[in-house]
Amino acid sequence: MLKGVVLGIVLGVLLVVAGVYFYFSSGHVPVATNSPEMPLERKFAAAALHAYLDQQPHPNPQVAADEPNLLAGAKVYKEQCAVCHGLPGEPKTFMADGMFPKPPQLFRGVGVTDDEPWETFVKVESGIRMTGMPGFKEHLSDRQMWQVSVLLKHADGLPPTVKDFLTGETPAPVAVTSGAPATPAPSIATAPPAGAAKK
Ligand code: HEC
């Protein structure tokens, strides 16, 4: 009797494993970015992300949301984020439009202004696996990640200088123009105040 039950359970488990394997190797799993979603894909992904976020520390922002920090955050954003998350008043890039899941346009609608900065910080630091959202821990300083996080928290109420810098309508203040664009992590953290020369 017991033997039969155990055998039944083992067979049941094997069947499920075989079923999942068959599904993934059948060629019917959506791979193209414009295919429909997999069953429960978004639900599982959101559950995993929220559980991960809950486990992370929830510190207050480690930089003030003042103009120099917002400008420094805007520089990081323009160089590292805008290609996917867009700039105020600009159309989505082809790249953003061709992704799955689509990167939210952070200067349209509420963006992430309703998220606490720590939540944005964690996403920027760690990235979000299998979405295209990169983790920047190895390439941006904590300070830069906080600066871009407070920028996004205040995306709906930025000082005109910061907004103009993002839209490129005014020349960037000296403190945020320097540094070769190809350098992933110019040291904003140690940047001298606006007006001072920086290498
Ligand atoms: C290559 C494209 C790409 C780049 C570059 C990128 N992201 Fe993302 N990002 C994404 C995608 C795609 C998502 C959506 C992930 C999801 O659906 O779970 C995302 C999600 C996010 C979210 C969560 C949005 C929400 O509504 O909860 C934040 C915040 C974010 N990114 C910030 C940034 C910042 C800041 C940078 C630059 C330092 C950046 N991203 C660079 C693709 C990108």
Distance 108 CA to ligand 1 centre (A): 14
For a pLDDT cut of 90, what percent of the chain falls above it? 79
Q: Is the pLDDT of residue 193 over 60?
A: no
148 lines ligand 1 (CB under 6 A): yes
State pTM to two decimals: 0.83
**Torsion of the alpha carbons at 51, 52, 57 and 63, rounded to the nearest 10:** -120
Q: How far is CA 81 from the centre of its chain?
A: 8
Ligand 1 atom closest to the CA of 76, numbered from 1:
38
Q: Which pLDDT band, with edges at 50, 70 and 90, does 182 fall under?
A: very low
- CB of residue 104 inside a 6 A radius of ligand 1: yes
- pLDDT value at 123 more than 90: yes
Ligand 1: centre distance to CA 103 (Å) = 6
- The fourth-level CATH superfamily of domain 67-190 is Cytochrome c-like domain (1.10.760.10)
Query: Does position 15 have pLDDT exceeding 80, yes or no?
Result: yes
CA distance 166 to 148: 12
